[in-house]
Amino acid sequence: MAPLKLAIVGGGPSAFYVASRLLSLLPQTSAHASSLKIHLYDRLWAPYGLVRYGVAPDHPEVKNCTHKFDTAATDPRLRFFGNVNIGTPSPIPTTLPLSLQSLLPYYTHVLFSTGCSVPILHPALPPSQFCVPALSLVHWYSQHPSAPRPPPDLSRIRHVTLIGQGNVSLDVARMLLTPPAHLAQHDVPAPVLAALRASAVEHVSIVGRRGPLQAAFTTKELREMMNLPDASMAPLDSAHLAAAQTNGGAALTRQQARTLQLLQKGSKNPPGSTRKTWSLDSFRAPTGLVTPPSGPSPSARAQLTLAHTALDPAQRAVPTGETSTLATDLVVTSLGHRAEPSLPWYDPALARLRTLRGRVLGADGRVVRNVYASGWAAMGARGVLASTMLDAYAVADTILRDHFPQFGPASASTSPEEEEGSTTVGGELERAADLGAAVDAVEVLPRGEDVDFEAVPPEVDAGLREGRVTEFEDWKAIDAEEIRRGQAAGKERERFVSWDEAREFLAKVRT
């Protein structure tokens, strides 16, 4: 059987789900086990991507998927190489740069699982000391290795306005409004806790251009906001609540009905009973921000202009002609993300890679043979971990069927995921295989017989010798040390906050 040597660019959940699926469909007891090799590259020195650096610290249960990833990483056919940046410009100066041209000769297949790492900005709200993307705050409270600029001085900020009503907005609002003593038990780095303890934030406005029932946040996230221990929700505008109840004459979905029930009930703490408050400011769209010459202070607030909107019959937000102004100390935009534009096969119209059923397409629409994409890099920044998992399994199935036409996941032993409802085997796989065989494909990778099954690019070899590139064993040593430090401090973990700190630790444990 021809070897399948796969390079996965990206080390987040989609990458690990694809790897796990491939390894389970060709188990080590299989006659074909030796035909598979997976090398997983990430620009970060720690694995798991958004699971480690995007999931809110007070949602530790969401990180349980890492147990599955750890199991995959124990398979000797998988190797993880961290702190390696492939192809695109890196925001992390300490990474090892590796061009895509240097990577390709060593692999028969390549999968891009690079996510969507570039925040979408609002055209009327340019970044400034008064306006930052939500991603910069998420990177701050998770201590992302990109070493973003320090957050605005929260000790000088009383009012924060979030633009966008998705889960990320609610995560940021919850972090700002939850008592630091409650956060201290979770994976919140000590410098972040110190800044939150000094915070003067009293109110968070969450602005959306449509109504509360059209908001992108989940019922679970809204319920958490309603149950904040030391904050209360400002009463929802009565006209907005009435509009939500009628929903333009359309029947309420199950989630909309639950959201409406929560809004009607209100927060656990009655309005006016707490120093900290928050509000859903629906049917508002920002049109500009006038900033004072000095930094944020109670006497020098920015003025955010808002156009009032209403829903048209197609549920789109349209301006009513009315406007208002909101005084605020900080505007945080949370409007979604796009893939890195410098990635090969990036489509600006889609804000992601150009794909069809996981296969990467060139600008002419032809399949790029043996090049794939999964997760947000292929789907765009949408969905939750469950949808990422299902997409990853489908892409893994396609990779196997494309490479081994005589062997498909449908003929492999049934996995637990298939029993849980994966629909990627059978007829859909047959159609995908037919599609791959029918098109005139572009060739960018070498033939299998021309690839050294064990080798890695020499730049990576050198990085391993220099201690600049991390492997999974390095991560497990760091992971154990973070947990040990956390236990000593009475919390989930105390994470390494810089590569320099992690590298110094690794230099000691490797000797």
Pick left, alpha or beta for residue 381 (phi over 0 → left; psi -120 to 50 → alpha; otherwise beta): beta
Answer yes or no: is 14 a known binding residue: yes
Answer yes or no: is 86 a known binding residue: yes
Phi and psi of 464, rounded to 5°? -65, -45
Helices (H), 131-237: 134-142, 167-177, 180-183, 190-197, 219-226
DSSP symbol at 472: H
User: 365 Cβ partners below 8 Å, 6+ apart?
Assistant: none
Answer yes or no: is 100 a known binding residue: no
Distances in Å between the Cα of 33 and the Cα atoms of 80, 394, 461 are 19, 20, 25
E strand spans, 410-498? none
DSSP calls for 97-137: EE-HHHHGGG-SEEEE-----EEPPPTT---BTTEEEHHHH
- Residue 22 sits at the vertex; the CA angle it makes with 19 and 24, to the nearest 5 degrees, is 105
CA atoms within 13 A on the CB side of 434: 6
Answer yes or no: is 167 a known binding residue: yes
**Pairing verdict, β 118-119 and 337-338:** antiparallel
Answer yes or no: is 503 a known binding residue: no
**Environment class of residue 40 by beta-carbon count within 10 Å: exposed (0-12), middle (13-18) or buried (19+)?**
buried
Six token digits for residue 372: 């794939």
Residue 435 and residue 437: Cα distance in Å, rounded?
5
Distances in Å between the Cα of 318 and the Cα atoms of 205, 216, 237, 314 are 21, 18, 18, 10
Nearest by Cα to 470 from 19, 53, 15, 80: 80
**What residue type is 5 in one-letter code?**
K
Answer yes or no: is 209 a known binding residue: yes
Nearest by Cα to 75 from 109, 41, 25, 114: 25
Residue 383 and residue 15: Cα distance in Å, rounded?
16
Residue 64 and residue 67: Cα distance in Å, rounded?
6
Nearest by Cα to 409 from 434, 428, 437: 428
On whether the CB atoms of residues 258 and 219 are closer than 8 A, the answer is: yes
Answer yes or no: is 282 a known binding residue: no
Answer yes or no: is 166 a known binding residue: yes
Which residue ranges are tagged as binding site?
14, 50, 86, 165-168, 209-210, 221
Which residue ranges are tagged as binding site for FAD?
14, 50, 86
Which residue ranges are tagged as binding site for NADP(+)?
165-168, 209-210, 221
